[in-house]
Amino acid sequence: MISSIVIVIVIFGSVGTFLFVSNQYRPPEIAVVVLDPGFDDLSMADQVGIGMNEVSANFTVQYYIANPYPKTSAEAETLMESLASSGHYELILAAGQKLTTAVHNAAVAYPNQKFGMIGGFVDLLNVASGSYASEQAAFLAGALAALLSTQENYTSKVGILASMDDDPDVISLVNGFVQGVVAANSTYALNVTLLPTEFIGSYNDSSAASNSTFHLFVNDGVSVLFAPVRASIVGVREGMLFANSTILYSEDRMPLVIAAEGDQDYYGCADPLIPVAPSWIVTSVVSRTDWVFYTIINATLWDTFPSGYHYQYNLANGGANVTTFAYSSTYIPASVMNIIHSYKDAIVAGTIVVSP
């Protein structure tokens, strides 16, 4: 931390006089690196943004966010190396497991620069890391989807619409969700059909997301759709509305979606700006990236950078979980909620192990 006052001692004969000379305070600079579409994605980056706001509420810091955002891991690596070479930044934080290799390479190239890795682990002394067992929370979402899909007027069909097939965060979510569907299907003899996963090929393609969502609900007869799609959730909402206006409304069933990587529950309400139950987004699978963001910055600013430390978050400590059903509890039967709580207890106890 840089002091805002410089104390100068001037000696006149035998008398010492203190002169207080103002020195312009320059707050610590912190660079934050996320892949395109970046912030305002209603998802992962915005969850990080919560942590940024919490830091700003307690410390005076200056954030640097590259514009335009890097589109690939290679671009992010080049950006981080450029930031590190400037020597301006107290800390460079990258969010998303997809950037793990980029952080590793930049940290090796600049060993005196402090880095933070949110969503992955880099085993270097100048990197503090935080990772999430998001697959555990996604397991609960999968079990919930299977159980809800068998309710009255529903079709016992579950679908998955995801963003990128090369994003390890997304793949962990999908894998955990599938394991949850399979477990509930087997344990409770639900006879649920899980359709093959569809990938949009983008984090931010609302048109493709809208078309796929409509097709899955109307043409494929899906009852519950898992949608880890980041900013493309805008298109998922459009698809839900269109599907509901054409066929689902007449069948007296809501087009139900489970979101991920940020709390998007409100986005399934009739008016997302003034959310009131019910919401067609049943719950969201959320990794608390804001927690590790705050934790690493807080330690760094107090000159206790967690060198080489790996923070690990999961269902047991609440760092990865589903949301609290604020807008969906009215239509989820108590019996279903009890099953989900039992699954959570089993995962925390280690009797159910979920693979990423």
Structure tokens at 259: 């979101």
340 sits in which H/E element: helix 334-349
Q: Which amino acid is at 286?
A: V
pLDDT single digits (tens) 226-266? 999 999 999 999 999 999 998 776 667 889 999 999 999 99
Do 134-287+324-349 and 29-130+289-313 have the same topology in CATH?
yes
User: How much is the average pLDDT of 184-202?
Assistant: 97
Q: Name the residue ranges covered by the structural domains of the chain.
A: 29-130+289-313, 134-287+324-349
Residue 2: pLDDT over 60: no
Q: Is 255 left (phi over 0), alpha (psi -120 to 50) or beta?
A: beta
- Which pLDDT value is given to residue 251? 65
CATH superfamily, with its number, for domain 134-287+324-349? Response regulator (3.40.50.2300)
Amino acid at 207: S
In the prediction, which pLDDT does 301 show? 94
**Domain 29-130+289-313, what architecture?**
3-Layer(aba) Sandwich (3.40)
Terminus-to-terminus CA distance in the chain, angstroms? 39
| Predicted pLDDT at 25 | 52
| 112 within 8 A of 316, measured Cβ to Cβ | no
Average pLDDT over residues 310-320: 96
Task: Give me 105's structure tokens.
Answer: 């390479």
pLDDT for 19: 41
Q: Which residues contact 307 (CB under 8 A, 6 or more apart)?
A: 125, 126, 128
Rounded distance between C-alpha atoms, residue 229 and residue 342, angstroms: 28
Residue 16 pLDDT level (bands cut at 50, 70, 90): very low
The answer to whether 15 and 35 have CB atoms below 8 angstroms apart is no
CB 64 within 8 A of CB 29: yes
Burial of 61 (0-12, 13-18, 19+ CB in 10 A): middle
pTM of the shown model: 0.89
> How confident is the model at residue 112, as a pLDDT?
98
